[in-house]
């Protein structure tokens, strides 16, 4: 059996794709497949993929219309053959040639569903690559979880202290398939639902204190570089998480914690949303808030935002609502 299926969505990254592919093809773990999903690129990304495939038969190319990285990952997962699955973004790269071998050996030795590790923030300056642990460090995770196998039941209140990024995890493929864990079809934050879904079901999880992945910062045109809030993704994540909890019968167990987390994110976006779409976002947001107030117990019962509220006003209102909820709980 193929040991790891590396899944790589590709969209208009011809400039960065070679570095990513080279870092994967150079891995000391050779029994891998690299499933590259060309998601309707309009540049020469597909040509780059075809050139690399002519050199290495481990590369599998799926060429499809643009639907976003979430659908691209799901499409690749459906045909993956590896014992484990690792998701790589095509403008990033693996930090060294031993990454896949190390994470595979750890995951198999401890029979894991999920192995978690750190990622480096990387950017170019004066022709050199600058690396830092930055926002993808493991500092928020309690030391008791490092190099120790634990389950979803052990981390109920700590679940959101773990990194949500998909490229900081190696997954057992059968675990994903058996639990129908998939990415959302939304513009940004596609990995939030599968992160939460997997972390509340996994029986064997482990964290290692290594930093194996290089996340490219400040790439022109990337979803994370574009700071404007012009889509409704946080609202869709919150609704999807609520639906997931209902389907799994885990509303009482995780509802207040998870919906509080994702509704707070949607609230944060309200305070930063672009003016041309803010009224439309607010209408959708208020629909979500009203639904939660009528059906779910949480701090939002005492929350009363307006469309004119700025980011810090919303923060203050949220703080007051949380305090009131805790006092009257």
pLDDT for residue 123: 83
144/11 same-domain check: yes
Same structural domain for residues 160 and 254?
A: no
Write the CB contacts of 205 (distance below 8 Å, at least 6 apart in sequence). 112, 113, 114, 115, 116, 145, 149, 150, 151, 152, 155, 199
Give the separation between CA 5 and CA 173, rounded to whole angstroms: 9
Query: Do 103 and 238 belong together in one domain?
Result: no
Q: Domain span at residue 133? A: 4-216
**Same domain assignment for residues 79 and 184:** yes
Say yes or no: 209 and 238 in one domain: no
Q: Are residues 237 and 210 in the same domain?
A: no
The string of pLDDT tens digits covering residues 100-116 is: 999 999 999 999 999 99
Number of domains comprising the chain: 2
Phi, psi of 177 (to 5 degrees): -70, -45
Co-location of 36 and 88 in the same domain: yes
Q: What is the pLDDT of residue 107?
A: 98
Number of Cα atoms under 13 Å in the Cβ half of residue 231: 13
pLDDT above 90 covers a percentage of the chain that reads 87
CA 152 to chain centroid, in Å, comes to 18
Would residue 227 count as lying in a domain? no
What does pLDDT average to over the chain?
94
**What pLDDT is attached to residue 244?**
98
CATH number at residue 179: 3.90.550.10
Closest CA to 273 of 219, 309, 223, 325: 309
Indicate if 115 and 163 belong to the same structural domain.
yes
Can you list the alpha helix ranges (DSSP code H) found in 31-98?
Answer: 45-55, 69-77
- The answer to whether residues 186 and 248 belong to one domain is no
Is the same domain home to 125 and 17? yes
**Residue 241 and residue 115 in one domain:** no
Q: Does any domain span residue 226?
A: no
Global pTM value: 0.92
Residue 226 has pLDDT above 50, yes or no: no
Both 178 and 305 in a single domain?
A: no
């Amino acid at each position: 059996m193929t040991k790891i299926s590396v899944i790589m969505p590709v969209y208009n990254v011809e400039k960065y794709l070679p570095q990513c592919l080279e870092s994967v093809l150079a891995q000391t773990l050779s029994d891998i497949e690299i499933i590259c999903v060309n998601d309707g690129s309009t540049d020469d990304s597909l040509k780059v993929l075809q050139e690399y495939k002519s050199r290495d038969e481990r590369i599998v190319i799926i060429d499809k219309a643009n639907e976003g990285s979430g659908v691209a990952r799901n499409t690749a997962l459906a045909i993956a053959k590896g014992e484990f699955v690792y998701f790589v973004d095509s403008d990033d790269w693996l930090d060294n040639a031993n990454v896949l071998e190390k994470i595979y050996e750890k995951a198999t030795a401890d029979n894991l569903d999920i192995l978690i590790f750190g990622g480096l923030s990387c950017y170019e300056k004066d022709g050199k690559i600058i690396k830092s642990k930055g926002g993808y460090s493991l500092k928020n995770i309690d030391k008791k979880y490092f190099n120790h196998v634990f389950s979803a039941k052990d981390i109920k209140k700590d679940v959101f202290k773990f990194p949500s990024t998909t490229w900081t995890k190696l997954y057992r493929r059968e675990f994903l398939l058996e639990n129908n864990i998939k990415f959302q079809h939304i513009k940004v934050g596609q990995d939030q639902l599968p992160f939460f879904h997997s972390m509340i079901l996994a029986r064997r999880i482990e964290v290692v204190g290594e930093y194996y992945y290089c996340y490219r910062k400040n790439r022109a045109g990337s979803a994370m570089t574009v700071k404007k809030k012009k889509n409704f993704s946080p609202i869709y994540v919150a609704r999807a998480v609520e639906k997931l909890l209902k389907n799994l019968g885990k509303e009482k167990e995780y509802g207040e914690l998870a919906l509080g987390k994702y509704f707070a994110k949607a609230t944060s976006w309200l305070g930063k949303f672009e003016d041309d779409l803010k009224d439309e976002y607010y209408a959708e947001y208020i629909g979500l808030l009203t639904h939660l107030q009528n059906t779910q117990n949480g701090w939002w019962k005492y929350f009363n935002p307006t469309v004119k509220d700025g980011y810090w006003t919303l923060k203050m209102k949220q703080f007051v609502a949380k305090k009131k909820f805790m006092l009257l709980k």
